[in-house]
């Protein structure tokens, strides 16, 4: 589709329509940032821990693929050397209406509910690693049920059981004002960045490594680490050596 390693993305609809109208924007999109990467400035800023911000949305298949294929294996391999900050808002909009926040989401109202579940989990779990595993699980199991609506209940029950996260607490939060407030805060952060597609990744406050980060996350992070752990010395294209169901 695109001339880029980022084959599947959830684009905001404005971008989709403009991309359909012009050949040029299809070719250039997402921007090729490799040149920036090759500048010295990236190798200089090595760190002991890399902060990774991930912007995504709950019903975007590309987000689910990124979590199961890249993010979760990277966190498993690098442990505390990577600090993940998730932001489950994506291409949504927020309205303030009679004292409460209302959202509209790219994949419909169900996605807004899913985003709240993710936001609540982040607030409740308070352990980045576990929250990544849990939300990765939610992304994987939030599927269409028999009546073609999304079956969040099965995902909530299974992922809560699997990762020891209180099911009722997450559910209650997502149905309450707390869930809306949490999601609104993620939205404020997302809107500041003017993000046009998800998953969108920032490494150490920079979005310059977008293609690397979504194409081979662990290698991108290894490049940025002081004293990279032994796992970085192996062929780090984790996708080619293993498959993650």
Ligand X SMILES: *[C@@H]1O[C@H](CO)[C@@H](O)[C@H](O)[C@H]1NC(C)=O
Residues that bind ligand X (CB under 6 A): 21-23, 39, 41, 127, 129-130
Closest alpha carbon to 117 in 75, 165, 161: 165
Comparison of 125 and 195: residue with beta carbon closer to ligand X = 125
Comparison of 37 and 198: residue with beta carbon closer to ligand X = 37
Comparison of 40 and 146: residue with beta carbon closer to ligand X = 40
- Asked if 215 and 6 touch (Cβ cutoff 8 Å), the reply is yes
Comparison of 83 and 172: residue with beta carbon closer to ligand X = 83
CB of 210 to ligand X, least distance (A): 16
- Asked if 67 and 56 touch (Cβ cutoff 8 Å), the reply is yes
CB of 134 to ligand X, least distance (A): 9
Comparison of 10 and 71: residue with beta carbon closer to ligand X = 71
Comparison of 106 and 212: residue with beta carbon closer to ligand X = 212
Residue of closest CB approach to ligand X: 39
State whether residue 62 is helix, strand or coil. Answer: helix
How far apart, in whole angstroms, are the C-alpha atoms of residue 192 and residue 210? 17
- 11: which strand partners? 197
- Asked if 36 and 208 touch (Cβ cutoff 8 Å), the reply is yes
Q: Is residue 181 within a helix (H) or strand (E), and if so which, with residue range?
A: helix 177-193
Helices (H), 29-176: 34-38, 40-44, 61-66, 72-78, 109-125, 128-141, 152-163, 167-174
How far apart, in whole angstroms, are the C-alpha atoms of residue 137 and residue 165? 12
CB of 22 to ligand X, least distance (A): 5
CB of 98 to ligand X, least distance (A): 39
CB of 80 to ligand X, least distance (A): 8
CB of 41 to ligand X, least distance (A): 4
């Amino acid at each position: 589709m695109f001339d880029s390693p980022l084959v599947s993305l959830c684009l905001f609809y404005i971008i989709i329509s403009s991309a359909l109208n012009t050949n040029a924007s299809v070719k250039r999109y997402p921007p090729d940032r490799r040149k920036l990467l090759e500048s010295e400035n990236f190798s200089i800023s090595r760190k002991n821990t890399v902060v990774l911000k991930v912007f995504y949305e709950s019903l975007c298949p590309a987000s689910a693929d990124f979590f199961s294929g890249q993010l979760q294996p990277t966190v498993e391999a690098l442990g505390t050397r990577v600090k993940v900050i998730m932001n489950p808002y994506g291409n949504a909009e927020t309205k303030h209406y009679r004292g409460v926040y209302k959202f509209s989401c790219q994949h419909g109202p169900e996605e807004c509910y899913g985003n709240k579940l993710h936001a609540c989990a982040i607030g409740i779990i308070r352990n980045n690693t576990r929250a990544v595993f849990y939300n990765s699980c939610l992304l994987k199991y939030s599927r269409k049920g028999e009546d073609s609506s999304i079956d969040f209940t099965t995902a909530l029950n299974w992922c809560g059981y699997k990762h020891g996260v209180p099911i009722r607490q997450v559910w209650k939060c997502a149905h309450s004002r707390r869930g809306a407030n949490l999601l609104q805060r993620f939205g404020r952060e997302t809107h500041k960045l003017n993000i046009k597609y998800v998953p969108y990744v920032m490494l150490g406050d920079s979005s310059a490594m977008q293609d690397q980060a979504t194409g081979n996350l662990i290698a991108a992070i290894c490049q940025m680490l002081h004293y990279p752990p032994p796992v970085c010395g192996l062929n780090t294209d984790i996708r080619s050596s293993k498959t993650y169901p």
